[in-house]
Amino acid sequence: MMVIRPVAQQDLPGLMALAKNAGIGLTSLPVDEENLARRIRRSELSMASELERADQGYVFVLEDTACGVVAGICAIEAAVGLKAPRYNYRVGTIVHASQELGVYSRHDTLFLSNDHTGCSALCTLFLRPDYRIQRNGSLLSKSRFLFMAQFPQLFGKQVMAELRGVSDDAGRSPFWEALGRHFFSIDFTQADYLTGVGQKSFVAELMPKHPVYIDFLPPAAQAVIGKSHENTQPAEALLVSEGFRYEGYVDIFDAGPTLQSYLTEIRAVRQSQLGSVKLAEPPANEEGQTYLISNTSRSGFRAILAELALPQESLQLTSAQG
């Protein structure tokens, strides 16, 4: 059975294996054992209410209970940018006009922004390729919404998700090559890694503070602004189906899109219901539908997908599911 649960210290080898499998672009899952161990500890302290909200981060793993394999990871940052600035670009417009000359022109621009300060952030979504079957991806992503529905006081009114932008198999980003490289003088993969392990001060020190005119960028860079990596598009489609939308914010490194929604408007949060459960074997040959189910515990949080008959007074779960 596939179960979502909070990460624990014994999951470190599994997380390292996931990080190596994820490759370039997933900044919050670096191949760095010390960093991942700290992140596990921070999640445990967050679950125990031992950190301030600005420091809280919740990490969950998808475990195949039949063999103990850590098949996937997902996470929520409670509030971004409260202690270290959170940067992205906002796609905007500048107008140049002269009534005397009869000239009027509009230019799309990139403005350096901290607009998502205090928002909660969905992050670190990765599922092993051999487990991308039987709605495991949906379970991995949507389980976070049931946790947020159960504990809304832990999170901001607005929720964001930064999606991986376009890059090739060698990790080269056309947007980075056109813009970031001129200010950082390092490879995209190195900048990506540094932000993933928490070394973010160089972003504020080196990024241009003035608007960037998109028209001045090469066509290849312009074409990927607000576009997600092909491997990320299924996750993007799932978020859109839950009510997330693109509002013109993109990543400063690869120009991947940022999607956002109010917490109360996320479909799984809005439609979630609190009910009772009865342990019983399902009646033979009774048709049902798939439900995303979680308990109401914080540190003992569990979530599963289960095919059940339409609920009456209570949901009927097997002893294994319960």
Integer Cα distance of 66 and 54 in angstroms: 37
**Integer Rg of the chain from CA:** 21
- What's the token pair of residue 201? 């001060």
State pTM to two decimals.
0.88
Which pLDDT belongs to residue 240?
A: 96
280 domain residue, yes or no: no
Which pLDDT belongs to residue 22?
A: 81
- What's the token pair of residue 122? 């969905």
Phi/psi zone of residue 71: left (φ > 0), alpha (ψ -120 to 50 degrees), beta? alpha
292 domain residue, yes or no: no
Domain count, the chain: 1
Pairing mode, if any, of strands 120-127 and 158-162?
A: parallel
238 domain residue, yes or no: yes
248 domain residue, yes or no: yes
Integer Cα distance of 107 and 212 in angstroms: 10
Q: CA separation (Å) from 71 to 17, 61, 140, 307?
A: 10, 7, 10, 21
253 domain residue, yes or no: yes
60 domain residue, yes or no: no
Q: What is the pLDDT of residues 7-30, one digit of tens each?
A: 999 999 999 999 988 866 577 788
Sign of CA dihedral 14, 59, 244, 255: negative
User: Which residue ranges in the chain fall short of pLDDT 50?
Assistant: none
Q: What is the pLDDT of residues 206-232, one digit of tens each?
A: 777 789 999 999 999 999 999 999 988
Listing DSSP states for 22-37 in one string gives H-TT-TTS-S-HHHHH
Element (H, E) at 129: none
Which residues are designated catalytic?
A: 229
Element (H, E) at 214: none
- How does DSSP classify residue 186? S
Which pLDDT belongs to residue 319?
A: 65
Separate counts of helices (H) and strands (E) for the chain: 10, 14
- Give the domain extent around 224: 83-117+157-272
134 domain residue, yes or no: no
Q: Which residue has the tokens 């999951």?
A: 11
